[in-house]
Chain A
Amino acid sequence: MRSLILRTVAPLIVGLMVLFSIFVLLRGHNEPGGGFIGGLIAVAALSIYGIAFGVETVRRAIVFHPLAIAGAGLMLSTLSGLVSMVFHVPFMTGLWIYPVILGEAVPLSSVMTFDIGVYLVVVGAVTSVALSLEERGED
């Protein structure tokens, strides 16, 4: 789609959506949101980008192959579950630390990294499907 309006607005929308998706991901533990929803928003953003500028541009923009992103996410989630084994508590037990950053205690946890993994899997998996469907150059 070579619409001038879309191509002008798309970068702005896409940037905002990706930012929003990360916001949704991180606030998920206490407010509506989470890795799954955040991931879907990011996929929607990338789809818009792809419709506006073509698949190649998206592939360049995300640097890694989408499936590699999904794989990394799955790895991250699994490792987040495995961390608990080091502390001799059952698999997937949430572990929390509260480092003080700029005078503010920031709760960080293995649960959060797990959710980030979910986010990456959703982004990678659905994007790879959407992109490969959009791609029509090779046939």
Chain B
Amino acid sequence: MSVADLTFLALLLPFLGAIVAPLLTRILGHNAAWVLALVPVAIFLHFTGFSAEIARGEVVTGGYAWVPSFQVRFSWLIDGLSLTFMLLISGIGALIVLYSGGYLKGHPHQGRFFSFLLMFMGSMLGLVASDSFLMLFVFWELTSITSFLLIGFDHQREAARRAALQALVVTGGGGLCLLAGLIILWNMTGINQFSLLTAFAPQVKASPLYLVALVLVLGGAFTKSAQFPFHFWLPNAMEAPTPVSAYLHSATMVKAGVYLLMRLYPVLGGTPAWQIILPVFGAATLIIGALLAVRQTDLKLMLAYTTVSSLGLLVLLTGFGAPYAIEAAALYLVAHSLFKGALFMVAGCIDHETGTRDVTRLGGLRSAMPLTFAIAIASAASMGGLPPFFGFLAKEEVYTALSAFDGRAMIFAVLAVVGNALMFAAAFAVALKPFIGKRIETPQAAHEAPVLLWLGPAVLTLMGLAAALLSGTVHELITSPMASAIAGEARVVTISLAPHIGVPAALSTLTVLLGIGVYLRLARLRAAIAAALAAIGWGPDRGFDQAMRGLVRLSSAVTRRLQTGRLDIYMTATFTLLAVVLIVPPFLYGELARAPVFPQDIPLHELAIMAIAVIGLVAVVLARDRLTAIVSLGIQGFSVAVIFLLYGAPDLAFTQFMIETLAVVILALVMTRLRLSPSDHRPLRENLPDAAIALACGLGATLFLLKVTEAPFDTGLSDFFNQYSKTIAHGANVVNVIIVDFRGTDTLGEIAVVMIAALAILSLVRLRAGSLRRIADNDPDAEEASR
């Protein structure tokens, strides 16, 4: 197998794993995690094989034709940026699989959970591997869908269902924005692969559509990466089991938006619009996320809001445009994945072992859970930017980038210090508060977490430590290639643990001092923020609910207006429109048919048949009771069939005979079924308008037919079919050959319609009075009234 085939297999492997996961879990129970973790491990090892090439600054591409007619390829691009993501996704993924083995031990749907988790892993890998636009979009939406499944895993709780739907609507909608943006880029350049797009950057930036494309792409990136004001879905997504929060909502999926911005940086980045929109939204997200994090008491929610905050910082850095900003973003992204993943898993351990996640109900756990405590403190130190952890390097680089002496940089530096200080406080509120102080009674007696639970966070924390100690190697293999790939030019990251005095170190010290201050006054600050939020009383989360309710109400109102459920109104509307369409255009455009010339020698039998048809019609109109009318309609139909027969269309006549017969039978059955009165007495003022519409339709159809027959008959099609039906399709009956061979695919569609119509009629016939209530259940007003 070639490397390309192996890469394709590596991208496919999680989905294969997802297929076998339920079965494997049925056999091995929660220990299936050990086997399933081999999937991400194999992927990790495969992609590690590229690191030497990538470190040399090379780019690996490959792929297959996907939709050749649109030049769409299933193609991947492995450079410093995507490789870093791949290693994070597969590496953390392996730990998360193990962690879920312990966390959901004994859960009846653990196999399903593994399956969803691996599917997500595959989608996320595909997303970052994508070189082609459409492939990226497909995987982008797949991550939204798999994330929907994972958030709504506890589907019996309404909160979980709501959170899942919210995440799907926000990120899926953003995905559609992204698609539009990518298509604009595609149209601008004719290129649909990221690896080729960079060369067109000047052309893209000069295009009048640049801003449209940018806003649309940002619509995708900001929703996915939970930027303000789209941040609300991420904290709600904490309804998911903790492994999901640790994996999707801190380490991987929410970084997809940042990934996209970094991927498109060489193409869209560096313009004034880019350098205004991104830092402003990023900074707003940073501050709002950090404030909301401090306000929470739930461990997972605190972490979730700090994730929002960190994502804001990443967007800020990506858009900042100063030296070292890209390097800082790369460093911070890696560091964040390590410490936030670990902290989420720690929060899960605490929840799992004590039965609560409320920080005010936790305390003194250090003796019961010493190992968890050590992991938590180390990760929080990394998050707070303390040496000797990787988070420290990241924060130093962030401050290096922001410490230019101009007004813009200073504003953002102040904002970053405030945000980081708040995050520092939140980190230690999660990692220190539950472990120190007086022992508080918890719903379950606390004891140390089992190996499956502490292994993941321990490895991530050690990685954070090792990455800082061996920063030279990490920069060479990971961060420098990543920063170079983002910037589109060679960048070298040099920062290390060696002490360096300067503005960044001063800002760092300030952050830590401020953070400690906030930590000590956490309760008071929490109350203040809660009061402020209560005063505002409205947030995007409620806005989302209002928007959704409004949408349902609007569609309900529109439906009620258009679909009254009364057949006579539908028919009046349909036939009035038909009459208008048939009659008005010929008059408007002067296209009326000439008066027809009646042939003098119509044979007697044809006249007789036409007379019968007319008699049938008159009988329908004059019939006193319905059954007579239905049968009379049959008379008319049979006469028409005979006319078909006389004019050499036996198939048509044949079908018409059968249809007429069955129509009479079925109409009679419907009549008895509906228990209609045998006769239909309506006052003249109701009958007259209907008669007028009927006459207008008849007139219109006549005019139309006369006009059509005026034109000389084009025999092209009939000649073709007559000539080829025997030679090509081996059939003498042209009509049948057209139906089953020349236009067979049409027929296939038609019989599918027949089948669906039968299903629909059957369900209509079986409707009972009780079903009316079910229709009313979808009415939002009625629903609210019943509450």
Chain A interface residues (CB < 8 Å from chain B):
24, 28-37, 40-41, 43-44, 47, 51, 67, 70-71, 73-74, 77-78, 81, 91-92, 94, 96, 107, 109, 111, 114-115, 117-118, 121-122, 124-126, 128-130, 132-134, 136, 139
- Taking a contact as CB atoms closer than 8 A, the residue among A34, A114, A132 that contacts B762 in the complex is A132
Residues of B within 8 A of A71 (CB): 755
Tell me if B732 is interfacial: C-beta within 8 Å of chain A.
yes
Stretch at the interface among B295-303, B574-582, B737-745: B737-745
What's the A-B contact tally at a CB cutoff of 8 Å? 140
Closest chain B CB from A103 CB (angstroms): 21
23 A-B interface contacts by CB (under 8 A): A29-B732, A29-B733, A29-B740, A30-B733, A33-B736, A35-B740, A36-B655, A37-B654, A40-B662, A44-B661, A67-B755, A70-B754, A71-B755, A77-B748, A78-B748, A115-B739, A122-B751, A129-B762, A130-B665, A130-B666, A134-B669, A136-B672, A139-B768
B662 touches A43 (CB 8 A): yes
Residues of B within 8 A of A117 (CB): 751
Tell me if B690 is interfacial: C-beta within 8 Å of chain A.
no
Tell me if B761 is interfacial: C-beta within 8 Å of chain A.
yes
| Given pairs A126-B758, A130-B666, 7 additional interface contacts (CB within 8 A) | A32-B735, A67-B759, A78-B748, A92-B741, A115-B740, A122-B754, A129-B666
- Taking a contact as CB atoms closer than 8 A, the residue among A81, A109, A114, A133 that contacts B673 in the complex is A133
Q: Provide the bound-state CA to CA distance between A118 and B731, in Å.
A: 17
Residues of A within 8 A of B584 (CB): none
Closest chain A CB from B180 CB (angstroms): 32
Q: Provide the bound-state CA to CA distance between A124 and B761, in Å.
A: 13
Find the A residue at minimum CB distance from B674: A133
Q: Provide the bound-state CA to CA distance between A41 and B615, in Å.
A: 27
- Taking a contact as CB atoms closer than 8 A, the residue among A32, A109, A139 that contacts B654 in the complex is A32
Q: Provide the bound-state CA to CA distance between A8 and B666, in Å.
A: 23
User: Which secondary structure dominates chain B's binding surface?
Assistant: helix
B740 touches A111 (CB 8 A): yes
User: Which secondary structure dominates chain A's binding surface?
Assistant: helix
Closest chain B CB from A95 CB (angstroms): 11
Sort A-B residue pairs by CB-CB distance and give the 8 closest, nearest first. A125-B758, A40-B658, A30-B732, A133-B669, A32-B650, A29-B731, A121-B751, A34-B736
A34 touches B733 (CB 8 A): yes
Residues of B within 8 A of A32 (CB): 650-651, 654, 733, 735
Closest chain B CB from A89 CB (angstroms): 13
B762 touches A128 (CB 8 A): yes
Number of B residues whose C-beta is below 8 Å from A?
Answer: 41
Tell me if B559 is interfacial: C-beta within 8 Å of chain A.
no
Interface residues of B in 695-742 (CB under 8 A from A): 729-733, 735-737, 739-741
Residues of A within 8 A of B766 (CB): 132
Closest chain B CB from A138 CB (angstroms): 9
Q: Provide the bound-state CA to CA distance between A132 and B669, in Å.
A: 10
Residues of B within 8 A of A94 (CB): 729-730, 741, 744
